[in-house]
Amino acid sequence: MIGMFDSGLGGLSVWRELARQLPHESVIYLADRAWCPYGPRSHAEIEARSTRIVEWLLAQGATSIVIACNTATSAAAAQLRRHYPGLPIIGMEPAIKPAALASRSGHIAVLATRATLSGEKLQRLAAHYHEHVQITFLPGDGFVEQVEAGELDSPKTRDTVKQALLGLAGSNADQIVLGCTHYPFLAPLLSCAWPQAELIDPAGAVCRRIQQQLESHHLASPPGQVASYRFVSTAEHEGMQDFIARVLGMKAEVEPLQLA
């Protein structure tokens, strides 16, 4: 079973792609909505919280972990891999490389939370491609909160998206890297606000990496196996239930969890 977690609903964009690519793999998804958003918290806080979540997921029978959150990946993935050396732990990777390779204008944008944008991992990756393309960093202020509220197309959300993209005014940016798993749920608004750019969602590449890791650790389920899905939330589980039904088009019971 795959254990997957995020600060909230955003990681469901990764879950959605995983269910499409690997329909035979069972998943337990934990939304840490009691702590959402992770962005304003310190790396030490996120690392400790992520460790606690992974402990809980392992106790539920998870044999691999997907950190479906860019901020948590940046803050905690390295420490978790040191702590659990034999455990497959797959995190999010900002899709700067495919965006740089696909760009015709030589100008790309990275849209992410401020915590992710300031993280060493993203900055190191960006530095590697800076000599090949111009990169504009855009903080998606308010994006996570709007997705968590289930407001994917409200006037406030449309205004939030437009404000975030003001940094591209007058530019020829033709690729926008979605550096937070919440952001794919706002893709229609982003495409409307900046139609000349292709949106790069790393979920597909992450799921291919999950498949590779499962196979190399001999953890992959047989193709004919029927997958089971379990959803857990540390707060507002009813709101998450509604989101899954409305946005993902499936009926699922979300279990409430108090995680100390």
Q: What angle do CA 231, 237, 242 make, to 5 degrees?
A: 90
Strand 175-178 and strand 107-112: the pairing is parallel
- Does the bond joining 88 to the residue before it have cis omega, within 30 degrees of 0? no
Q: What is the β-pairing status of strands 175-178 and 134-139?
A: unpaired
- Which of 36, 69, 192, 207 is catalytic? The answer is 69
Catalytically annotated residue among 36, 180, 192, 207: 180
Distance CA 235, CA 257 (A): 7
Residue 69 bears catalytic tag: yes
Active site residue 192: no
Measure the N-to-C terminal CA separation of the chain; round to a whole number of Å. Answer: 23
Residues for the chain: how many in total? 260
Return the active site residues. 69, 180
